[in-house]
Amino acid sequence: MTETPPASNPDVRRRMQATRRVDTRAELSLRRELHQRGLRFRKDYVVRGVSRSRLDIAFTRHKVAVFVDGCFWHSCPDHSSIPKVNTEWWTLKLETNRVRDLRHNSELESAGWTVVRVWEHEDARAVAGVLHGLLSNR
C-alpha cells in the first residue's frame, strides 16, 4: 500500500480530519461508560503473536477484544463513502482495511479471544451495557 495521497480538496481533508477526531471521541465515550460500570480494561492493548493487532479496548482476563471502528475507515454500511477524487486508490485502501480487519478477527479468535467490533456511530451507553452483560456471563 502506498502512502496516503494528500487530501485532494478541502472537503476530503475535512472529512479525514473529522473522522479521526470522531474516532477518538467514540472511544473516549465508550471507555467512560465502561468505567462507570466498574469494568476494568486495558486500552491500546497489543496481543503477542497476533500480527500487528492493537486492541482499542481489551478485557484481558476474559479475553474479549473490542474495536471501535471508524465509519469512514472501516466502511460502515450506514455512513461509508468513497471520496470522488483518487477514487481508485481509496477503493483499494478501504478494501484493504476490510480484509485486514477480517484477518485480525480470525487471528484473535484462533488465539482464544472473543472479538467485538462496534461502530463509532453506535451509542456508547448501549454498547457498554451489552459488553457488561457479555462479561457477566463468562
Residue 88 binds Zn ion (CB under 5 A): no
Contact in structure between 51 and 99 (CB atoms under 8 Å): no
Nearest-5° angle of CA 67, CA 70, CA 71?
125
| Binding-site member from 32, 40, 42, 79 for Zn ion (CB under 5 A) | 79
Element containing residue 115 per DSSP (H, E) = strand 114-119
| Binding-site member from 78, 88, 112, 133 for Zn ion (CB under 5 A) | 78
Residue 71 binds Zn ion (CB under 5 A): yes
Contact in structure between 35 and 20 (CB atoms under 8 Å): no
Residue 77 binds Zn ion (CB under 5 A): no
Closest CB to Zn ion among 22 and 50? 22
Which residues, 97 to 136, sit near Zn ion by CB under 5 A? 119, 121
Closest CB to Zn ion among 63 and 117? 117
Q: Kindly state the number of chain residues that form the binding site for Zn ion, as judged by CB under 5 A.
A: 6
Closest approach, Cβ 2 to Zn ion, in A, equals 26
Contact in structure between 123 and 32 (CB atoms under 8 Å): no
Give the contacts of 65 (CB within 8 A, at least 6 positions apart): 45, 47, 53, 55, 57, 58, 108, 113, 114, 115, 116
- Stretch near Zn ion under the rule CB under 5 A, chosen from 17-25, 36-44, 46-54, 69-77: 69-77
Interacting residues toward Zn ion by CB under 5 A: 71, 76, 78-79, 119, 121
